[in-house]
A and B are shown apart, each in its own frame.
Chain A
Amino acid sequence: MKELFFIIAGSVLVNNFVLSRFLGECPFLGVSRKLETAVSMGIATTFVLTMTSVATYFIQFYILEPFGLSRFLQIVSFILVIASLVQLVEMVILKTSPALYKALGIYLPLITTNCAVLGLALLIAIKRYNLIQSVAFGLGAGIGFTLAMALMAGIREEMEFADIPEALQGAAIVLITAGLLSMAFLGFSGLIPM
């Protein structure tokens, strides 16, 4: 139980996917203009991350490794599974909750090319987590991603009214803000015994 808590807290705060592992930068910088969309994107990604952690656990330890294919087919099979999983999630949400589907709309298919998803799959294979640990890791990664997105979007909404030097307008100031956020998250290092 304690170990699971460490995995979740570690991936949310200490090794935040966006701010310290640099996974999922594209949506973090691209879709963080409004708080509402940022949070929706975060929740959709969390969902996909958790599903991916289960799927890739079984593929890695029950298909690729027993047949000795891990070296050659790992990247191809993971990315294909993620792409079809995202498609599946899209169809399920469309059937069960059209309102949510409408809210997430265009962001859902984009999750395939989010490095956080493939990064999570590869990290699970490297760290050799068991099933429960994998799910905890996926959930923690998703919560961490959502947290970073929400913080960034909140700051960017406030920044709309700030007087930013001309040269730094646009992406530059967003990156500098991300740097300050990341510095704040450094304060969490040492929270979890490694």
Chain B
Amino acid sequence: MYQLVKDFFNGLWNENPTFRMIIGMCPTLAVTTAAMNGIAMGLATTFVLMFSSLLISLLRNFIPAKVRIPCYIIVIATFVTVVDLFMAGYFPAMYKILGLYIPLIVVNCIIMARAEAFASKVTPLRAIADALGMGIGFTWAITLIGAVRELMGSGTLFGYHVLSENATHWVIMLLPPGAFLTMGILLGIMNVITRKNVRDTQCH
């Protein structure tokens, strides 16, 4: 039980995929023009992460080591197709905003990294605890980035006006450079908080 709790909390802060491991940058930077997008993208990724981790953990004794990567990719792609069709059917407005980046969850390094480094080595219960922690860690991180960009770029938070009408909107925060700058500065702030430099980026 203690191990499960530890696995779960690992992803929230200590090994947070966005701020500590710096993986899965494409969706992190691309869809975070608003906080709500961050939540949607985070939940979609969490779903794929949980189910693919579960299945890979269950199949860990059957998948030959030599062809494991293609096997993982098929498992992940299957669940991404599920999410893709589900979002297109039930949340068409959000689906339109996230667009290309929903199918691109397949190549999100977080999922592959957890499959290869964790889920393929442990029991299903631990794999799910880890996937849930990682998923929620990813979700809060990209929601935070989305909130910062939305607040500065359009003066709103989750669609509600927060800043006064006269406040200047920094449109640059909604454009591509804003994503890089916000992420870079937030990383710097995280470094100050933890007083520990983040390891240099290495995705794969």
Contacts and interface: CB of A to CB of B under 8 A. Distances in A.
A165 B175 CA distance: 26
Prevailing SS type, chain A contact patch: helix
B201 A30 contact: yes
Pick the most buried of A23, A114, A179, A182: most chain B CB atoms within 10 A of its CB.
Answer: A179
A80 B172 contact: no
Contacts of A118: 103-104, 106-107
Contact of B176 (A71, A119, A172, A182): A182
A21 interface: yes
A168 B1 CA distance: 38
A176 interface: yes
Nearest to A27: B203
B30 A21 contact: yes
Given A170-B198, A171-B198, A176-B184, A114 B107 contact: yes
Interface of A: 19-27, 29-30, 71-76, 79-80, 83, 110, 112-115, 117-119, 122-123, 126, 165-176, 178-180, 182-183, 185-186
5 tightest CB-CB pairs across the interface, nearest first? A179-B180, A175-B184, A26-B203, A22-B30, A176-B184
Given A72-B85, A169-B191, A175-B187, 17 more contacts: A22-B25, A22-B26, A25-B29, A75-B84, A79-B106, A112-B73, A112-B107, A113-B109, A115-B108, A165-B188, A167-B192, A168-B184, A179-B178, A179-B180, A183-B177, A185-B176, A186-B175
16 contacts: A22-B30, A25-B29, A29-B22, A75-B80, A76-B78, A83-B73, A115-B108, A118-B103, A118-B106, A123-B100, A167-B192, A168-B191, A170-B198, A174-B201, A175-B184, A178-B184
